[in-house]
Amino acid sequence: MYKLAVYGKGGIGKSSISSNLSYILSERGMKVLHVGCDPKHDSTRLLTGGVPQRTFMDSFSGRGEGDVIESGTNGIYCVECGGAEPGIGCAGKGMAAMLDYVERNTPDDTDVRVCDVLGDVVCGGFSVPMRRDNVDGIILVVSEEFMSIYAANNILRGIRNLNGGRCVLGMVLNSRDPEGRSRVEAFSEAAGVRILGEISRSAVFSKAEGAGKTVSELFPDSPAYKQLAHIADMVCDAVSGRLEPLSASPLSDKAMMQIAAGQPVTDRDPPAVRTDCSFDSFDSERAITYKGDYVMPACTSHGAAEALLAIEDAAVVMHGADNCAFLDEYAWTRESYWQGFSGGRRRTCNLYSSGLDGRKAFAGEREALKAAITEAVEDGFRYVFVVPTCTSEIIGADIDGCIADLGDVGAKVVGVPEDDRFLASKFG
């Protein structure tokens, strides 16, 4: 199976181009799996008669993983990722989970997989389709506007950092301002990325959108179809090995500014990639810098749990993965054993976990946290401390907001905030 990914700036026309490519490839006898990797879940709509399909996010909502892969026009297999509610959950984690599901459940007769990927972001889950084992060829969709070229350059950076192989097929110019074509040509030459083809502005795209079909299906005699078919030819050449993929060679910020200004590109140095590994760290508590590769592991949530578990009539809810709570419980219990052997007394471990995993992080972690707090209260605790196992930037938790939503549960629930001073320390 050949794995193709289509990247580009948001709103640049990726979904329209990728769905048309899937249709044309299916016309040529290939069995295609079309994967929509955008939370807007609008990539497969033109392949399913204009009707939005059930998303992978829907399966996370409790309706099961059946029917995630549906059959569309010309027998094209269709999958849509979908996304969490705005402001809740992590779409990137959902993307990673969906790609894992697709890898395990791709129909055996699939010849080509086409991933239509949100291209403004190349971090986390949105970078999964460009990683070495997940892609054979990548197409970048651009227009003449500088920001679309800038986004393409950032995507090239992501490809170089995460893939490292030769996988760039080239660019598709979805033309909006023909007078600005020189800007695309300058970027193409400087970055060494060929232009696979050009799509001219045409009213047939809007007509096809309104009918819930691709241009290739509805207007096979149009000039737009011929342009799309040419790009499909290039993809077929890549599948057969006749078109050699390229390495990603992103330009520096200075070079990009020269392109924006219409100046010759003189800065040929690629942006730097950090290849060294250093664990030097400044301990802000002791004002000491530790050098070398010796790491002293620290976890601020462990320190918080250690202090709070000493309050015997309070419960501690660790908001995060079960393994974080397990390690804290193990450390507390082991210490209790040692105290018992030395004449002390065994201590209880009033520890709970929200059990955050990829699914809960995708859909939103509030219900998992509320359930853990409720369990502690139902067990009789009237004081409950909530400790995040990672910073809010990592798991996206709004602990104070979740506690406020609980209302009066018959107990005092206290969120424990992060402390930047300890987060920066090996002795956190």
Number of H helices, E strands in the chain: 16, 15
pLDDT at 292: 59
**pLDDT tens digits, 265-276:** 998 777 666 555
Nearest alpha-carbon partner for 118 in 18, 238, 187: 18
Catalytic residue selected from 40, 322, 370, 398: 40
| Span 365-387, average pLDDT | 92
Residue 60 has pLDDT above 80, yes or no: no
Bridge pairing between strands 383-388 and 2-8: unpaired
Q: Tell me the C-alpha distance between 385 and 68, whole Å.
A: 39
Say whether 3 is catalytic.
Answer: no
What are the residues whose beta carbons fall under 8 Å from the beta carbon of 247, sequence distance 6 or more? 160, 165, 166, 168, 192
Determine phi and psi for 270, rounding to 5 degrees.
Answer: -70, 155
Residue 320 has pLDDT above 80, yes or no: yes
Q: Tell me the C-alpha distance between 48 and 136, whole Å.
A: 26
- Chain position carrying tokens 């070079």: 255
Partners of 247 in the beta sheet?
166
The 3-state DSSP class for residue 384 equals strand
What is the per-residue DSSP string for 243-310?
A: S--EE--PPPHHHHHHHHTT------PPPP--------EEETTTTEEE-SS------HHHHHHHHHTT
Residue 393 has pLDDT above 60, yes or no: no
> Fold match between 2-260 and 300-423?
yes
Average model confidence (pLDDT) for the chain? 86
Residue 69 has pLDDT above 60, yes or no: yes
* 205 against 361, higher pLDDT: 205
Catalytic residue selected from 14, 93, 213, 426: 14
Type of residue numbered 293: D
Say whether 40 is catalytic.
Answer: yes
Q: Where are the domains of the chain?
A: 2-260, 300-423
* Per-residue confidence band for 418, with pLDDT thresholds at 50, 70 and 90: confident
| Span 76-83, average pLDDT | 90
CATH 3.40.50.1980 for the 300-423 domain, yes or no:
yes
Q: Tell me the C-alpha distance between 114 and 361, whole Å.
A: 26
Determine phi and psi for 387, rounding to 5 degrees.
Answer: -115, 120
* Per-residue confidence band for 89, with pLDDT thresholds at 50, 70 and 90: low
Residue 375 has pLDDT above 70, yes or no: yes
Bridge pairing between strands 77-80 and 32-37: parallel
Write out 292-319 in H/E/C secondary structure. Answer: CCCCCCCCHHHHHHHHHCCCCCCEEEEE
Helical pair 253-260 and 181-191, crossing angle rounded to 10 deg:
150
Q: What angle do CA 155, 160, 162 make, to 5 degrees?
A: 90
Bridge pairing between strands 112-117 and 281-283: unpaired
CATH 3.20.20.105 for the 2-260 domain, yes or no:
no
Residue 66 has pLDDT above 60, yes or no: no
Say whether 120 is catalytic.
Answer: yes
**pLDDT tens digits, 111-139:** 999 999 976 655 666 788 888 888 999 99
Q: Please report which residue ranges of 172-214 form alpha helices under DSSP H.
A: 181-191, 203-211
Helix (H) or strand (E) holding 412, with range, is strand 412-415
The proportion of the chain whose per-residue pLDDT surpasses 90, expressed as a percent, equals 53
**pLDDT tens digits, 140-183:** 999 999 999 999 999 999 899 888 889 999 999 999 999 999 99
pLDDT at 349: 85
In this structure, of 55-59, 83-87, 316-320, the range with the lowest mean pLDDT score is 83-87
Residue 27 gets the label, from left (phi > 0), alpha (psi -120 to 50) or beta, of alpha
Q: Helix, strand, coil % (nearest 5) of the chain?
A: 45, 15, 40
Q: Tell me the C-alpha distance between 41 and 53, whole Å.
A: 8
Catalytic residue selected from 111, 120, 322, 398: 120
| Span 60-76, average pLDDT | 77
pLDDT at 394: 61
Say whether 14 is catalytic.
Answer: yes
pLDDT at 5: 96
